[in-house]
Amino acid sequence: MKKPTSGDRMSSYARTIGTIVILAICLVTTTSNAQLPNPGDMTRSMANSRIMMGKAYLDGGRYTDAAAEFETVVLDFDDPDHEISDLRATAGVLLCLARARAKQMDAARKACNAVLQMQDAPQEIKKQASTLLSKLN
């Protein structure tokens, strides 16, 4: 077996450096082509998750926990840059329902009235809030 010469070692180094450079180029290209998530979609997704969690609590009889989830959507997701007024209004109606089931009638009426006063809430959701409010009175 012959001893490696300095030329053999240099070609080995060159191959290693070449491989590293190619991998770095691939990494930069992949990273620059990756699309960042749309903040509006993320906000909508988080609000949806809260509503689903609240519904699960509501179905399980944990009305106070459900109300907390719905209240978070109504209060914390009031962002004019990301249009989620339909989810906020839905959460408001569900908040009204959760408060009513928890025998917190004043808080339930307040939640329904808040939905009715939302200017950008869909009409069908306002109608549900109105129906629920009439049953509470």
Helix residue ranges, H only, 38-84: 39-59, 63-76
Q: Among 36, 77, 27, 24, which Cα is nearest to 54's?
A: 77
Q: The pTM is what?
A: 0.66
* Ordered per-residue pLDDT tens for the chain, 137 residues: 566 565 565 666 667 776 776 766 766 665 555 555 555 567 778 888 888 888 898 888 888 888 988 888 888 777 665 577 888 888 888 888 899 888 988 999 999 998 899 888 889 889 988 998 898 88
